[in-house]
Amino acid sequence: MNHARKGNSRSLGEWLDGHASTLFITPAVLLILIFSIFPLVASLIIAFSRFRLGAGSYRVRWVGLKNFEKQFFGSEQFHFLGTFEGMSTLGWLVSIIAIAASLYWLARYCFTKFWWLGFIGRIISALMFVALVLLFSATLLSGTQFGTLGVTLFYVFAGCALQFAIGLGLALLCAQPIRGRSFFRVIFFIPLMITPIGIGYAFRMLADTSKGPFSHVWQWVGLGDFAWASDPWAARLFIVIGDSWQWIPFVFIILLAALENIPKDQQEAAEVDGASGWQIFREITWPQLLPVAATVMLIRLIEAFKLVDLPNIMTSGGPGIATESMSLHSYFAWRTLDLGQSAAIAYLLLFVTVVICVSFFNYVVLSRLRHAA
Amino acid sequence: MIGKMAPGTAFVVYTLLLLWTLIVLFPLYWVLITSFKTAQDVNNGPFFIPWVDFAPSLHAWKELFVFDYEDTLRSYTNSIIIALLSTIGCICVGSMAAYALARISYRPKFGNIFLFVLAMIGGCVVVWKFGVDWKISIAVALACWFFLLKSIGRFFTKSVGNGDILFWMISQRILPPIVTVVPIYMMFQNLRLLDTHLALILTYMVVNLPIVIWLMYDFMNSIPIELEESAQLDGASRFRTFWEIVLPLARPGLAATTLLVLILAWNEYILAVFLSTSKAQTIPILVAAMNAGERGILWWSMCVVIIIMIIPVVFMAIFLQRFISKGVLLGAVKG
C-alpha cells in the first residue's frame, strides 16, 4: 500500500516534471485566451450587430457595417469625427503638404530598400496619417468642432509631448550633482500612485476660479468669472494638465535611471576638452538616452489612448462633447445600452491605437534600438 | 561630485526642483485640508491654513468612520482583497510565464494554432446557429482539436518562436479595456459572477499580466543561467529550480513589479464601474459616489476617501522605493 502510493506520487512528480514546460506557460496563455482574445472576438461580433438587453436575456441581430457607417457618415458623424462645412484654404494647404510628404516618404522607401510587407505597412501608416491630417484640416483648421477621435488624438499627442518635455527636464535636473536626490525622487514619484479619480476631483477643486486656492490670482488677472469647464479648449487643456501631473513621474523615473546608467567617463573627457554643457548633452547624453526615451514614449502612447477616468470626472465629456475621449464615448454608448455602437467605437479606437503605436514602434523605437546596438 | 556646479547654476537647479516639489505637493495639501473643512468653509471662498483661516473640523471623518463605517469599511476591504489577490495571482502566473519564455524553447506549430482557431470558430458557429449549450460545444471543439493535433499535427513544419509568444502576450496591453469589457461583463453575467470579488480579481489579473511578463522576462534573462544548470545537474526539477533559485534571485524585480501592479489594481476605475455595483464596490467607486446626490459634490467626504486611499500606497512605495530607483524598470525598457 505504502509502496504503491509512493510510486504513484513519484509518477505524478515525474509527470509534472515532464510537462513542466507546458505547465509553466499554460495559465498565462489560458487567461489571455479567455479574458482577452475571446472578448476581443465577441466584441467584434457585437460591433456588427444590434444588441438589445432584455429581461434576463438579450437578442442579437446582424446589421453588418451599419454601426460603423453611422460613425463615419450617419447620425453620429458630428460626435465621432466632427462637423464639416467645407474646407478652408489653410486646410487644403496643410492636407496637400501632408499628402506630398507621405508620398515622398513612400517613394524614398521604394528606392532605397523594398520589402513588400514593409511597403504594405508603410502604406497603411501613410493612409492613417493622411486621413487624420484631413480630419484636422476639415474640422479644426476650417473653424468647426472636431469629434471624439480628434479629442483623443489631442490628449495623446499634447499629453505625451508635455510629459516628455517636463519629465526629461526634471530627470536632467536631478542628474546634476545635487544634494537630496533620493528625497526629490520619492516626492516626484508620488503622483503616479494616486488614483486618477482623486486627481480628477483634486484638479477640479484647484481649477475653480471662484472658490479654489488660486481664485485671488484669477480675480486679479480679471478671469474671476471664467469657468474652465465651459470653454472647450480650456477644458481640454485642463485634462491634459491633470493627466500630465500623474504621468510625468513615470517618464522622470525611467529617464533618470537611464541618465544615471550612462558611463561618466565620456562626459568627463568632453569636459576636459572644453565642450559646453549643451554640446555634451547633444553629442553624448542624448544619443545614449534615445532608445530608452523612445520606449518610454511608446508605453505612454499606449496608455494615453485609454484615457477615460479624467474626462469623465473633470468635465463628464462637456461642454457638449468637447472633452469626450473615444473610450468615454464608448462608455456613454454602453450606458444607454447601445452595445453595438459602443463596441464599434471601441474597435475604431483599437484600430487607431494599433496603427499609431505599431508605426511609432517600427519607425522610431526599432530604428533607435538598431542605432544603439 | 557635490559642489561641482557653479553657484548660479545650483541656484537655478534647486529653485526649479523646489518649484516642482511644490507643484506635486500642493494638490495633496489642498485635498488634505479640504477633508477638515465644513461645507461653509468650502463654499465661502478659499481658505488655506487650518486654525488661521478656518477652524478644522472632523465632521467628514466622523461621518465616514462612525455613521457610514459599514460602507467605507466594506469598500476598503473589497479594495484590499481584490488588489492583493489579483496582484499575487498576476505575479505568480506572469513570472512563471516569463521564466518559461526566457529559459525554455517553445516551438508551437503554425498549423496547430490555426486548427485551434478553426475549432473555436466552429464551436461558436454551432452555438449560434443551432443553439447548442456552449459548454458542450466548447468541449467538443477542444476534443476535435486535440484529435486533429494528434493525427495530422506532425505534418506541419512552420512554427512560431518564443519571441512571437512574448510579443503576443505583451501586445495585449495595447488593448483598451473598453474594447473587451462588454463581453467580459456578459460573460460574468452568464456565470452569475457579476459584482463578486472573483470577477474583478480575474479581470485585473489579465489586464496587468502583460506588464508582469514584460518586466519579469527581462529579469529572468539577466539571471546567470549557470546556477540553474548546476541545480538541474543535481537533479532538481524545473519547479524546484524556479522556486528555490530563480525567484530569490529575481527579488528586486519582483518587488518593483509587485508595487507597480498593486498600484494599478488599487487605482483602477473603469473596469470596476462595469463589473461591480454594490457588494464588490471598490474604493475608487466610493470616491466617485460622493458626487451623486442632490446635495452636489461632498468635497470634504471625498477628500477623506482620497486620503485613506493614498496613505497605504505611499507607505508601500517609500518602503519599496530603493528597488524601483535602482533602474529596475530601465532594464525592461532598454529592450
What confidence tens digit (pLDDT) does each residue in B73-110 have?
Answer: 888 999 999 999 999 999 999 999 999 998 888 888 88
Tell me the nearest-neighbour CA distance from B131 into chain A, angstroms. Answer: 13
Residue A158: CB atoms within 10 Å: 18
The shortest CB-CB distance from B46 to any of A182, A191, A212 is to: A212
Between the alpha carbon of residue A44 and those of residues A278, A308, B79, B116, the distances in Å are 51, 21, 31, 19
Given pLDDT bands bounded at 50, 70 and 90, which one contains residue A3?
very low
User: Quick one: which H or E segment has residue B315?
Assistant: helix B299-325
Output the pLDDT for position A167: 94
B325 and A257: CB-CB below 8 Å?
yes
Pick A317 or A128 by higher pLDDT: A128
Contacts of A54 (CB under 8 A, 6+ apart): none
- Using the Cβ of B23 and the Cβ atoms of chain A, whether some distance falls under 8 Å is answered with yes
Given pLDDT bands bounded at 50, 70 and 90, which one contains residue B2?
very low
pTM: 0.88
pLDDT digits (tens, 9 = 90+) for A216-248: 787 787 776 777 778 888 889 989 999 999 999
The shortest CB-CB distance from B180 to any of A39, A177, A178 is to: A39
How much is the average pLDDT of B41-59?
Answer: 80
The shortest CB-CB distance from B329 to any of A21, A191, A257 is to: A257
Interface test with A, best of B40, B44, B54, B175 (most A CBs within 10 A): B175
B206 and A331: CB-CB below 8 Å?
no
- Using the Cβ of B309 and the Cβ atoms of chain A, whether some distance falls under 8 Å is answered with yes
Tell me the nearest-neighbour CA distance from A122 into chain B, angstroms. Answer: 20
Given pLDDT bands bounded at 50, 70 and 90, which one contains residue B146?
confident
Residues 106 through 135 of chain B touching chain A, CB cutoff 8 Å: 106, 124
B266 and A292: CB-CB below 8 Å?
no
Question: Tell me, what's the ipTM?
Answer: 0.85
B-chain residues within 8 Å CB-CB of A339?
182
The shortest CB-CB distance from A17 to any of B43, B237, B291 is to: B237
B-chain residues within 8 Å CB-CB of A305?
176
pLDDT above 70 for B62: yes
Output the pLDDT for position B208: 93
Report residue A310: phi and psi, to 5°. Answer: -65, -55
Cis-peptide, bond into residue B210, ω within 30° of zero:
no
- Using the Cβ of B189 and the Cβ atoms of chain A, whether some distance falls under 8 Å is answered with no
Instruction: Provide the 3-class DSSP secondary structure of residue A173.
Output: helix
Q: A356-361: list long-range contacts, CB under 8 Å, 24+ apart.
A: A356/A128, A356/A156, A356/A301, A356/A305, A357/A298, A357/A301, A357/A302, A357/A305, A357/B174, A358/A121, A359/A125, A359/A128, A360/A297, A360/A298, A360/A301, A361/A298
- Using the Cβ of B163 and the Cβ atoms of chain A, whether some distance falls under 8 Å is answered with no
A195 and B34: CB-CB below 8 Å?
no
Mean pLDDT (chain A, rounded): 84
B237 and A24: CB-CB below 8 Å?
no
Half-sphere exposure of A303 (CA within 13 A, CB side): 23
Residue % of chain A over a pLDDT of 70: 94
B-chain residues within 8 Å CB-CB of A29?
97
Given pLDDT bands bounded at 50, 70 and 90, which one contains residue A372?
low
Reference B114, options B147, B79, B75, B159; nearest CA is: B159
Given pLDDT bands bounded at 50, 70 and 90, which one contains residue B1?
very low
B-chain residues within 8 Å CB-CB of A17?
237-239
pLDDT digits (tens, 9 = 90+) for A134-150: 888 888 888 788 889 99
pLDDT above 70 for A209: yes
How much is the average pLDDT of A344-351?
Answer: 92
Interface test with B, best of A45, A152, A194 (most B CBs within 10 A): A194
Contacts of B184 (CB under 8 A, 6+ apart): A35, A39, B203, B274, B275
